[in-house]
Structure 1
Amino acid sequence: METPVVGRGGAPAQGDVLATPDLLAVDGEVSRGGPSVRERIGGAFLGRPLVYGLRDTDLERTPGEPGRAVLVCFPFDLEELPGGRRYEEVTLTVQLPDGMHALSLEPAAGAVAADGSEIAVFGLGRPRLRWTFRAVGRGGALRPDGRWAQAVVRMPATADAVSGRLSLSTTIVQPVLGGALRRRSAQTPYDTAFRIAAEEAWPTAASLAQHRALPGAWALTGYEDDLPDVKAEGPESEEEKLPPGLRRLCLAVDIEKYSARDNADMVRLQRVLLRTLRGACARAGVAWERCGRQAQGDGYLLVLEPGADETRVVPHFLDGLTEGLAAANDHAEDTNSAGESARSGRPHAVRMRASLHQGIVHEADSGYAGSAVVSLFRVLDSAPVRRVLHESPDSHLVVAFSDPLYTDLVGTGYAGLSAEGFERAEIEIAAKNFTGVAWIRAMRPAAAGQ
C-alpha cells in the first residue's frame, strides 16, 4: 500500500500537491525538563513528481544494464518570507529505492537557474540525488517559487512504479537589531514519500535531446508551432557577425504558483497560457507567427515585430490578456461547480504577472538577448510585482510597465491607457546589481469596472 503523504500540521495533502511541510529551525530551543522545541521559520510546497516514459531512441542503453529509463521531474515552491527575511540556499534531496539510480541530472552541476542562483548537484549513477541552489553575491536572494529538478532514472525491469522520498533543507537570512543579519538553517521535519505507477507516466512527444533543460515540457509539445529542422554547422568563426539589434516591444508573463499544481493542471495551464496569448494578439491585431516567441515553462516571452503601433497594441493586448484569463477562470469555476473537478481538490484560478518594456533586442542562437530582455524579467520577478498580485485576490493579472514605456504611453494620455490604478515602485535587486522603476497595476475586466 502506498505510504500516505501529509500536509501542514499532519493533514493529508490535497489533490496532486504531494505535501506542504513546514521548514523548522535546526537550532531549536530546549525547554527546562522538556523536549527540544523547533521553531517554524518557513514552509514548502512539494508537487507530486511528474514521470515521462522515454523511447529507446532517447537514451543509449548501457551494456548489461536491464530495465527501462524514465524522466522524473520534481517541482517545488518555497513559502514567501515576510519581514525582510530571504532564502540564501535550498537543497532538495531525493532518495530512490535500491535498484534505481540516476543516468542524468538536470539542472546539471555548474548550471545557473533562471533567477541567477548557482546549482550544485550530486548523485549521478546513485539512488540518492541532491540539488543545491545558492544565491549569488552578498545580499543575494533565491526566488521562492517555480523551482524544479529532474533526473533520468533507470528502473528495474520488474518495477511497476517510481517511488522514493523527498526532503528540503534551507538557509534563511533574517535582519536583527542594529542592522546585522542572522543566518538560520531549517529543514522539513520528515521525508515525504511518493509513488507514481508506471502506467501513469506521460508519453513522450519529442526527442529528449531537443529539450534537454526543460522540466518535462518536451513531453507536452503539440500546442506550439513545429520547429524547422536545424542542420549541424561547423564551429564558430571570427567572421560570424553580431545578429541585428532592433528596437522591439517585449512582453513577459509568468503563472503564479505553477509548480504547486498537479500534472493535469500543469498541462491545462500551459494550454490556457498559449490560448490567452494568442487571443490577446488577435485582439491587438498582432500576427502571432510574426512575433518572437520563447517558452519559459510556467511563463512566456513575446517579442513583437519592429514598427508595431504601441499606442494601439498595448491597451488592446492588455484587454485581451485580462478577458482571456477571466474567461478561462469562469470556465474552471463552472467545471468545479458541476462536480467533475471539485473532487480532485485542484486549485483552478489562473493568475499571472506580466511586464512590458522596449529596447534593443538581438535574436541569438538559443533565445533573445539584450539588456531590455534582462530588465523585463528582473521587473517581472521582483518583490513589488509579486506583492501587488498577492494583495489583489480579485484580479487575475498584474502588469508592470518599465518607467520609459509608462512615460511614453500612459503619461501622455493615449486612449485606453489611463494612469488610474498604477503604483510607482522602486525595484532594487542587489544580487543582480539592478535598480529601476516600474509602474504596477492590477488589471480587471471592463465588466468588473476597470
Structure 2
Amino acid sequence: MNRNGHGRYDGAHSEVPHDLLATTDLVFSGELTPRGEPPSGGVSLGRPLAYVLRDATGGAPAAADTLGTVLLCFPFDLEELPGGCGYRQIELAVTFDDADVRALELHPGPGWGDTDGARVAVFGLGRNRLRWVFRAPEAGGTLRPDGRWTQAVLRLPSFFSEVSGRLGVRGVIEHPLLSGTRAESEVHTRDEVPFRVSRADAWTGAPLGRQAPQPGALALAGFEDPGIRDGQLPPGRQQVCLAVDIEKYSARHNVDMIRLQRALLRVMRAACARAAVDWYSCGRQAQGDGYLLVLPPDTDETRAVPHLMDGLADALAVVNREQSGNAPDGPYLRTRMRAAFHHGIVHEADSGYAGSAVVELFRLLDSDPLRALLTDEHATDLVIAFSDRLYQDLAVHGYEGLSPAGFKQLEVTVKKFTGIAWIRAHPCTGRCREGR
C-alpha cells in the first residue's frame, strides 16, 4: 500500500482508492514547531479487512444466535522521511464504538519482534480499545518506513452486521537541528479517522500467515489511554489479584520447564472457568514459572476467590494424575505451587501492572513461611496466602464455604515489606480426589 500523495484525510469524505481508508499528515504535538521545521511525516491507513472465523473444528462460522468471532486486520503505511530523519516510534490506536467489543488475541503480540527488529508493545486484551507500539530496536536506530499491519481477534456482543470505530496514530520522529545535534519530536494525527466494516464485506476463514498466540504473548492485558502523557498516571482501580509460582522450577531440565509452563497456563484457565471468571477480561502477566492474574473490577470476590482456590487445587490434581500416568515406571515430580491473593488499587502501566497492592502480593508469594509450608505439607500440591485485609473481608465471614479454619496468622518480612499474612495448605476438593 504505497503512499500516493492524494486523498488526504481532513475530517470529511475524500476521494481515495478502494483499499485506502485515508492518508493523513502527522502534526507536531504541542503549540510550537521545532526549530528548523523538520518534516512531521504522514501515514496511509488501509481499510480494515474482516474475516469471520470458523470454529475450532474447521466447520462453518458461528450461528446467528451465538457470539461472533471476527479477525480484523489494520494495515498502514508510513511516509518516507528525507535523509537524516527517521521514525523512532510509531503507535496505532484502535477504539471501537461498541464498548462491548472484546479483544481475545492481538497480533503482533507482546514480545513479538517485527520484521525490521522493532520491539512491539501491545495494550488492550479483553477490552475495546487497543494499542500497538512499534519501537526502533536500538539507540540511534529508526523504523523502516514501509507497510505494517496489526490484527485483533474480537468477540462481538452478537452476530455482527457491522463493526465501527476510530483509528489514531502517534509517533516520535528523530531529526537533525541547525546546530548539528539531533532531537526527537512527538507527532500525531490531527483527528481520529473513523472506519466501518460490514459483514457483507467480510471473508470467511483467516488470512495466510496468521500467527498462533503463545502463552507469553497473552501476558499483558493493559490499556494505556492514548491521552495519557508522561507525568500522568494511568487509571487506578480496586481489583483482586492472584499470583502463583511453581515450586522448584529452576531445578528442572528444559523439557520439563516447557511442560510446567503449559501446565501452569492450563491450571490458571481451569481455575477461572471453575470460578466463572472471564479469562479474556482479566489482566494477565506471564512470568515464566509464575503468573499474575488481575480480575475485572466488577468481580464478585466473595464468590470468585473461594472458587479460584478450589479450581487451582482441582486442576493441579488433574495435571499431576495425568503426568503420573504418562510415566508409571520412571521418575515423577509433581507440579506444586504457591498462590497469593490480595486486593487494592492496581494501575495498568506501560510494561505490566503497577501499584503497592501488586508489590505486596508478590511479597506474600515469595515469603519464607509460605515456601516452608509447601515444603512441609507433602500431602498437598497448593499452599495459599491471603493478605490480612482480604482475610478479614472474606474468610472471617465464611463466603462460599470459605472458613478461617486451617489459616495461620504470621508476620511476613520480605525486603522492606513487613505485614500480616494468613497462610494455609489447600486440600484437593471432593471433585478431584477420585482417581488421584
TM-score (norm 1): 0.47
Larger Rg: 2
TM-score (norm 2): 0.48
